[in-house]
Amino acid sequence: MSEQNNKSTTDFGFREVPVEDKVKRVADVFHSVAGKYDLMNDLMSGGVHRLWKKLTIEQSGARRGNTILDIAGGTGDLTMRFSRIVGADGKVVLADINDSMLKVGRDRLMDKGVAGNVEFVQANAECLPFPDNTFDIITIAFGLRNVTDKDAALRSMARVLKPGGKVMVLEFSKTDNIALTKLYDFYSFNILPKMGQMIAGDAESYQYLAESIRMHPDQETLKGMMQNAGLVNCKYQNMTGGIVALHTGIKP
């Protein structure tokens, strides 16, 4: 049983809220920011998020004919790239718990002519609605920190992954560089909410996003969680000084 199942409250940023309330609160955040999500990602990261995602694609080992699940796929950055790799013989499922984000992603991919081998599914990562041993690769980029029960989500991913398949978690993480940490904290809590207010008309949601990053498990803790979910060969690669880390694990 995961630790979360023994608690009546969980973190929502720096606040403790009833477990049953977190899903709705997170949903409200992403309903609010969905329309400006891509623009804000570029502004928040200086465009570097595209490089982080490019590296994830390169290290996925995806090839023609694969079946891939992109959890918390949002506006479809990874799905779009995977769709081109797997071709007509493969399939990519873009899954997101938030219908506003899913709609933005679907509209964006259809506008770019990417839809033939893509399926859109509204799904909770903690209880994925797919059969066992379905996917060759599962990715979740900048989504795990918003999940209420991360252990349950990782177990669910392991269940629907094929033996020999790979789970990839791209997420903000922890840097051990003191100067970089101070600079990053100043940016996150002083600049980011103001930017959210100016661009998306929503400072509070971006305050939450900054806080959720700080509450996310560090690299070694997440690696251990993936191992506890039944994955093997678990490892991580830091990017941008550890501000972001790419964790991978294999289903035996």
Q: For the chain, how many structural domains are there in total?
A: 1
Binding site residues, as ranges?
Answer: 75, 96, 124-125
The answer to whether 117 touches 143, Cβ cutoff 8 Å, is no
What is the spatial distance between Cα 180 and Cα 142, in angstroms, rounded to a whole number?
20
**Of 10 and 139, the one with more pLDDT:** 139
Domain membership of residue 29 as a residue range: 3-176+206-250
In 3D space, the residue among 235, 50, 229 whose CA is nearest the CA of residue 155 turns out to be 229
pLDDT at 42: 73
The amino acid occupying position 80 is M
Rounded mean pLDDT of the chain?
Answer: 88
Asked whether residue 3 carries a pLDDT value surpassing 50, the answer given is no
Residue 47 lies in a domain: yes
Residue 21 lies in a domain: yes
Residue-wise pLDDT for 202-228, tens only, equals 778 778 777 888 888 999 999 999 999
pLDDT at 132: 98
| CATH number of the domain within which 73 lies | 3.40.50.150
Residue-wise pLDDT for 176-187, tens only, equals 888 988 887 888
What is the spatial distance between Cα 230 and Cα 71, in angstroms, rounded to a whole number?
19
pLDDT at 187: 81
Binding site residues for S-adenosyl-L-methionine, as ranges?
Answer: 75, 96, 124-125
What is the spatial distance between Cα 228 and Cα 98, in angstroms, rounded to a whole number?
27
Angle, CA 137 vertex, CA 93 and CA 216 arms, to 5°: 90
Residue 188 lies in a domain: no
The amino acid occupying position 170 is L
Residue 183 lies in a domain: no
pLDDT at 4: 46
In 3D space, the residue among 12, 1, 13, 4 whose CA is nearest the CA of residue 214 turns out to be 13
Residue 36 lies in a domain: yes
Could you tell me the two tokens for 100?
């506003």
**Of 148 and 199, the one with more pLDDT:** 148
Residue 185 lies in a domain: no
What is the spatial distance between Cα 129 and Cα 134, in angstroms, rounded to a whole number?
11
What is the spatial distance between Cα 218 and Cα 129, in angstroms, rounded to a whole number?
28
Residue-wise pLDDT for 57-111, tens only, equals 999 999 999 999 999 998 899 999 999 999 999 999 999 998 988 998 999 999 9
Residue 181 lies in a domain: no
Residue-wise pLDDT for 6-30, tens only, equals 568 877 666 786 777 777 777 676 7
Residue 196 lies in a domain: no
Asked whether residue 241 carries a pLDDT value surpassing 90, the answer given is yes
